Every structure is written in structure tokens, then in C-alpha cells.
Structure 1
Amino acid sequence: MKTVTIYSSPTCHFCHLAKDFFTANNIQFTDHDVATDPNAIKEAVTKSGQMGVPVIDIDGNIVVGFNEPELKRLLEIK
């Protein structure tokens, strides 16, 4: 099973799309809220090199934004 971490904020539409995608595909994930967790902000910026969300880490592969084809590829979803 792949380790999936998402850095998100409650008001981010694409964050909600990504989390809904994971749920619909039975993908377990850890969610870090950058709006309330200063350490999560630092981690997201370090991993992605930018301030935007969502930042998604799949076994060390970073996806910025909700890129469904890339998420499917990394998670091996047909």
C-alpha cells in the first residue's frame, strides 16, 4: 500500500476534489490542514517549492494541484 499525504486547506476546492477522489478509490491518506498547522505549511513548501495547495505526496512523488491522471498513474488506478 502506498503512503499518501495531502496538505490542504478547508476552503480549497481542489483539495476537496482530491480527498473525494481518494475516498472514492478506497485510498487511505493523511490530511494536514495548512490553515491550522504551521508545520504543515513548512512541509508543503519544502516538498513542493511553492505556497499553493493541495500538495500531495505519494511515496515521495509530489503532485501539486488536483491532477487526476497523474494521481491515477502514481496510485496504479485504471
Structure 2
Amino acid sequence: MKKVIIYTVDGCPHCQDVKELLKEKKVKFTEKNISKNPKLAEEMIKKSGQRGAPITIINGKIIVGFNRKKLVETLK
């Protein structure tokens, strides 16, 4: 089973797109909303080097933004 973490922010349409894709593929994931939690934001930046969400981590592989093709390929 793949370990999937997604960093999200409130009101982010691309974050919603990633979550919907994961649900569609029946993939369990942990959502970390950084909107009101600076420690989670720092964690995301440290792991990914990125400041914007969504950031999806699948078994250690980082995917920035909503890239359907890359997400689907990485989930295989």
C-alpha cells in the first residue's frame, strides 16, 4: 500500500482536484491543511522546497500542484 500525504490550503481548487482524484482511485491519504497551522507549512516547505499547495507525497515522491498524469503514474 502506498503512503500518500497531501498538503492543502483552504479554498484551493487544485487541492480539491487532487483529493477528488485520490478518492476516485480509491487511494487512502492523509490531508495536512496548512492554512491555520504554521508548523505544517514549515514541514511542507522543508520536505518539498515549495511554498504553494497542493503538494502530494506518494511513497516519498513529491508532486507539485495538480498534475493528473504524474499523479496517476506515481500511484501505479
Q: Which bin holds the TM-score, normalised by the shorter protein?
A: over 0.9
Deviation at 1:39, TM superposition (A): 1.6
Could you tell me how far apart the structure 2 residues matched to 1:50 and 1:72 are?
21
Structure 1 runs (4+) greater than 3 angstroms displaced? none
- 1:1-78 matches, cutoff 5 A: 1-76=1-76
Letter of the aligned partner of 2:65 in structure 1? G
Cα displacement string for residues 2-51 of structure 1 (whole angstroms, at most 9, x for unaligned residues): 00000001211100000000011100000000002212101111122121
Q: How many equivalent residue pairs?
A: 76
Aligned-residue Cα RMSD (Å) equals 0.7
